[in-house]
Structure 1
């Protein structure tokens, strides 16, 4: 037996994200806004060296900055 999400080529995590979005969009306005705020994720990371934690950074902002740096480095070559 193959699950529908697997047959559609989705991972289980992606399937859950899509299902959660559908449920949030089906709610009434006031409940929907609160649910959408809960659904937002803010991932942070930091590098550790010699047993000490470095600066904590936002993952989305760090990825955007790295993409800009890579584009600038590639364009100037």
Structure 2
């Protein structure tokens, strides 16, 4: 069990670190903390309204699911 858990955590850690390192390599420290904040130019969103709505809806669903599980 410990060996399987170690493999699982190492794979998840490597996945997150590879995304973080490649994102920093591509955008540097100019990237915003929230992903959708990067797609705003001069106060005008570069994404369609339905995309922002769906993103926020999925975030709320995920938070609700975590609340139900706890």
Structure with greater strand share of residues = 1
TM over 0.5: no
Larger radius of gyration: 1
Greater RCO, CA 8 A, separation 6+: 1
Shorter-chain TM-score bucket reads 0.3 to 0.5
Structure with greater helix share of residues = 2
Q: TM-score normalised to the size of structure 1?
A: 0.30
